Amino acid sequence: MGTPLDSSAAALRHIAVIMDGNGRWAKQRHLPRYEGHRRGLQVARAMVRACAERHIPYLTLFAFSSENWRRPAVEINALLTLFGEAATLLSEEMVNNGVRVVFIGERTRFPVKLQRTMTNMETVTAGGKTLNLTIAVSYSGRWDIVQAAAAIASNGGDFTEDNFNLHLATTDAPPVDLLIRTGNEQRISNFMLWQAAYAELYFSEKLWPDFEKTDFYSAIDDFSGRERRFGDVGKAC
């Protein structure tokens, strides 16, 4: 993080997505909630391809929040199983497509086997040059800020913005330019609180499993029409 702010609307380097609506999608079909998550994983794969096609170098997906631990055990277990399967089965696809995968969040809360699977995916994809895919698991924006502050305090470092940028979980990524949330809710839900300080927000009424590449491209087109001022005066002034 910490790269200079760019007032050009065309500079779209980092998209972050709150993939909301899996549970409702499943409920509408009288399916268990995890079927919505399964379908949601396929949509996430499609968005990874879409980012690569549009030459967007950073994509961050909110796959499991710190607050999601409050969900029923059956849903948590289904999600953890899905993460493990995805990390195992999709590693080769990510390598072939030049995708570098990084997991951020409090991963020590996950079973050790899943932690190893995540680390393995990070290791095998580390050489990816096309797209940096960050998957946020057991993540929250407040957790990230607190862990960065704790790390700075333990090193005796300075509490400056630059130093925070260096200690946040997303330290390798530029600030979020576009934050997309699906599922017809208009809130940030404790995601990327620091990183999305100047992000353009885009809310879609569609449930995540129904979100298509064309919807993703619409969000990008909408972003292109926005004037980003970063606190400065606009072009019209």
Looking at beta carbons only, is 99 or 148 nearer to ligand FPP? Answer: 99
- Contact residue for ligand FPP among 86, 176, 199, 220 (CB under 6 A): 86
Instruction: Report how far residue 126's alpha carbon sits from residue 101's, in angstroms, rounded to the nearest whole number.
Output: 7
Check binding of 17 to ligand FPP (CB under 6 A): no
Instruction: Report how far residue 22's alpha carbon sits from residue 11's, in angstroms, rounded to the nearest whole number.
Output: 30
CB-count exposure of residue 79 (10 Å: 0-12, 13-18, 19+): buried
Which one of the spans 7-15, 22-30, 155-163, 193-201 is the region binding ligand FPP (CB under 6 A)?
A: 22-30
Check binding of 20 to ligand FPP (CB under 6 A): yes
- Contact residue for ligand FPP among 5, 68, 107, 163 (CB under 6 A): 68
Token pair, residue 216, equals 């993703």
Question: x-or-dash pattern for ligand FPP, window 176-205, by CB under 6 A?
Answer: -------x----------------------
From residue 134, alpha-carbon distances to 63, 73, 174 in Å are 10, 25, 12
Check binding of 35 to ligand FPP (CB under 6 A): no
Token pair, residue 47, equals 């968005």
Task: For residue 20, indicate whether it is catalytic.
Answer: yes
Instruction: Report how far residue 204's alpha carbon sits from residue 68's, in angstroms, rounded to the nearest whole number.
Output: 21
Catalytic site residue from 68, 97, 163, 190: 68
Residue 58 φ then ψ, to 5°? -135, 130
- Which parts of this chain interact with ligand FPP (CB under 6 A)? 19-24, 37, 40-41, 44, 61, 63-64, 68, 82-83, 86, 135, 183, 208
* Residues taking part in catalysis: 20, 68
